[in-house]
Chain A
């Protein structure tokens, strides 16, 4: 029976009501009396020397308040990078300065050069057209391998070259790995591209800066997944504003998928300009601006090799990846191809030796950073593609080859520095096979062929590492931030609770699922629990929502704080009931004395805490409010098995997804409806990457896919209904809820199965096609068949 409340119930989302009636509060809905608008004049060249920015004509245009250029920000800090990678030689990465407004040079199309603040956006835009730019165009560096050639044009003149770092992992394994390849019975090699993507949350980014001269307090309203992180990065590193004078508010956030983690120049600009102009300053990104200013995702070029022994056991894995950083280092960019990618290369398999090499490269393109999955999709794609290719080369069943090499005993320490706590990869594969009617595939293929179509079935597994932690370890790996989470639980006198969490929903439904957890722990109605997030003035501290961490890390902090509340409430209840504290039990919102019929209601205890007339004042303080910080001891490791069935039209190369099934293990589940929805969304983005989406530059660094006319977003008629199951559950052993992350799984697990299916379809027609780079657009598939 489905539960009707608490942990495990598919509670309907409370936030839906405001979103469905048009009264949500997104950042662009915020307008402050007296606000001016900013329009950024952006570079239309990928690389050039700025000779002059003449604002004289523009500054006299109607409505212009002030025009800013790079020179105005010389005394201001660089947009910081939050992760410092150390390369295989022990050297720290090359880290260029990242100005708020370009100064001296422009380094990618879309880089802001000047900012016009005016009474209206239209006036700002008109004035920007009157700014005279004198920029000498320089050769652009676009291709990563070209960027590393001797004598290549440098993106940053003050760096040695375009190589950010050359990372080897695990360096101590390299010689043994190379030896294993020499001894292998079979080696499968695959070169592939993990295509560059644009996250494209439907809400474009917005920033509104406000400044109170009387109190010297700054407020930034911004579309962020982590307002406290923005407060720290912008306050401490860019503008020099202490936390107590800087409030960052991220109200309802219309999707993020990673790209709203990062601190962007526009946020710093609006905060700075609000003080400089002495009035609120608002920026709303157009979609066209978003394409050239939101950090992009993926963009890896990889060679992967898998060594097998004569019995088809995996003996070693070796990879070489070039990872595009773009022109500057976005907030967490260096961590994505390294610690979020190399550590995942074991996947679901007991490969004993693994060596990963990653060269991160500067190019004259928009910065690249985390996008849904961040490093883990890139790892999963290459691994699951090379395993599939190996199976086809060896003539063995791809599922059987995977099963043969599955990790089966937990905890399992991989050769790439992580320890999986739990999992059952055969169970998810069993579940998947029960969902996809594999036995009936031959008949379905025959039916497709009768209609002139090819049919293919692709399967893959995935392992994910979510909730990156613990802080002391990630600090050693180069993180310049902690990765804990905090929660404050405030109980009001009449029994209602307010939970202030540092996690921040941008569509995940935290207001509903987090309330379910706390209500369940106390045994009260979910509606008595209110979730507050997204405002640094209301929530003491937070690291935000990304990397599928919210419930595992933020939820755990909330559980710990609620446990403290319950412990104190038990003390109060024991006083009221005149019983020993050890005999007090909390159930269904009432405290009772074990073995008796004496009890006191939750609301009576909370009232006593604030009206402490009959109260143990000599032992405990009045009031009922507790804070907890939770720093996980490990990642969580969700896993699963996915299957995709496609039809390919041999005349046009068009691929149609006929069936898609996902069997996931997310450990314990709080709200199955929300979890299912998260998987659906991830699948759509993964299938979008596999079939449709591609962020494409020409050789001059001009972005060719800069609008929804050119960048193929998945639409309703591109996708099938999904068959999603998460009944396989191996609870996480190290967090109090036993939960694992679920937000990125779909995007991580789906691309390889799509490509595996298309290769299967083409090979069924006798085509010698072993790989096609994503997206598998009709022209690419058709060309591969010729």
Chain B
């Protein structure tokens, strides 16, 4: 067992982990931050995306020990300080960018990373960026619209209803 210490959503967090413990397991099982979901075991689906030191990572692909000392952000820390939905979350609700909600935390975290690097992406860029996030419910149509809206672009202009 190794002790790991990190900052998660702005708060200090620590725990004892085995060398093989994944960051996703540490967040879910020890910190009880169950918003980060695990949808596959081959780093394909992206439901587990969190930010580590500002970079989007698949938390099922990183050991908890590797995040020792890091700043970790998860879906639970994304809302505005008053508890209201942030711009990305609100856009997903406004444009029906989620159905079952299971892939949603990863989609929101990936979107945040995309818009940080590319504040006004094209539809093609959005779709290419989401290559590592699988959604089985929405057909991506409304996710793309939500992301365009969250970036301040006219979601209606890219799509017929």
Q: List 29 A-B contacts (CB under 8 A).
A: A13-B93, A21-B76, A21-B85, A22-B34, A201-B136, A202-B37, A202-B102, A203-B102, A204-B38, A255-B99, A287-B42, A288-B41, A508-B99, A509-B99, A677-B96, A681-B99, A681-B136, A681-B137, A708-B45, A708-B134, A713-B136, A714-B139, A716-B128, A716-B131, A716-B140, A717-B130, A722-B141, A724-B160, A725-B161
Q: How far is the CB of A27 from chain B (nearest CB, A)?
A: 11
Partner of A709, one of B42, B101, B137: B42
Residues of A within 8 A of B59 (CB): none
Given contacts A16-B98, A22-B74, A716-B130, contact A255 B137 (CB under 8 A): yes
With both chains docked as a complex, state the minimum distance between the C-beta of A255 and any C-beta of chain B, in angstroms.
Answer: 4
Q: Is B151 engaged at the interface, CB distance under 8 Å to the other chain? A: no
Check if A26 is an interface residue, CB within 8 A of chain B. yes
CB distance from B108 to the nearest CB of A (A): 7
**B80-131 with Cβ < 8 A to chain A:** 85, 89, 92-94, 96, 98-105, 108, 123-124, 126-128, 130-131
Complex Cα distance A746/B138, Å? 11
Question: What's the Cα separation between A16 and B107 when bound, in Å?
Answer: 13
Given A122-B18, A254-B101, A683:B93 Cβ within 8 A: no
Q: Are A254 and B100 closer than 8 Å at their CB atoms?
A: yes
Q: Which residues of A contact B96 (CB under 8 A)?
A: 12-13, 673-674, 676-677
Q: How many residues of A contact B (CB 8 A)?
A: 59
With a cutoff of 8 Å between Cβ atoms, the chain A residues found around residue B144 in the complex are 716, 721
Q: Mark A12-47, 1 if CB is under 8 A from B, else 0.
A: 110111111111101011010000000000000000
CB-based contact A22/B75 at 8 Å: yes
A681 lies within 8 A of B138 (CB): yes
User: Given A20-B92, A21-B79, A716-B130, are A506 and B40 neighbors across the interface (CB < 8 Å)?
Assistant: no
> In the complex, what's the smallest C-beta–C-beta distance from A332 to chain B, in angstroms?
21
Q: Give the CA-CA distance A507 to B126 in the complex, in Å.
A: 23
How far, in angstroms, from A201 to B134 measured CA to CA in the complex? Answer: 10
Given contacts A20-B75, A685-B139, A722-B160, 19 further A-B contacts (CB under 8 A): A12-B93, A12-B94, A22-B75, A22-B78, A202-B47, A202-B134, A202-B136, A203-B39, A255-B100, A255-B136, A507-B99, A681-B99, A681-B137, A708-B40, A716-B126, A716-B144, A719-B141, A721-B160, A725-B161
Q: Does A115 contact B (CB under 8 A)?
A: no
**B25 CB → nearest A CB, Å:** 9
A363-411 interface (Cβ within 8 A of B): none
List the interface of chain B (C-beta within 8 A of A). 18, 20, 28-29, 33-42, 44-45, 47, 74-76, 78-79, 85, 89, 92-94, 96, 98-105, 108, 123-124, 126-128, 130-131, 133-144, 158-161
Q: Which of A26, A709, A713 contacts B37 (CB 8 A)?
A: A26
> Is the beta-carbon distance between A22 and B160 smaller than 8 angstroms?
no
> Once the chains bind, are B100 and A507 in contact (CB under 8 Å)?
yes
Decide: A122 and B136 in contact? CB cutoff 8 A.
no
Question: Considering the chains assembled together, what is the distance between the CA atoms of A724 and B138 in angstroms?
Answer: 13
Q: Interface centre among A28, A287, A506, A677, by most B CB within 10 Å?
A: A677
- How close is A680's CB to chain B, nearest CB, in angstroms? 4
Bound complex: CA A674 to CA B36 (Å): 25
B131 touches A20 (CB 8 A): no
A715 touches B131 (CB 8 A): yes
- Which residue from chain A places its CB closest to the CB of B47 in the assembled complex? A202
A770 to chain B minimum Cβ distance, whole angstroms, is 29
Neighbouring B residues of A202 by C-beta, 8 Å: 37, 39, 45, 47, 100, 102-103, 134-137
Q: Would B76 and A122 count as touching, CB distance under 8 A?
A: no
Q: Does A314 contact B (CB under 8 A)?
A: no
- Residues of chain A within 8 A (CB-CB) of B39 are 202-204, 287
Q: Give CA–CA (A324, B37) in the complex, Å.
A: 33
A20 touches B93 (CB 8 A): yes
Tell me whether A677 and B142 are in contact (CB under 8 A): yes
Q: In the assembled complex, how far is the CB of residue B82 from the closest CB belonging to chain A, in whole angstroms?
A: 13
A122 neighbours in B (Cβ, 8 Å): 18, 20
Q: Within the assembled complex, what's the spacing in Å between the Cα atoms of A683 and B139?
A: 7
**Chain A contacts for B20, CB-based, 8 A:** 122
Chain A 670-688, CB-CB to B under 8 Å as 1, else 0, gives 0001101100111111000
Given A721-B141, A724-B161, the answer on whether A22 and B76 have CB atoms closer than 8 Å is yes
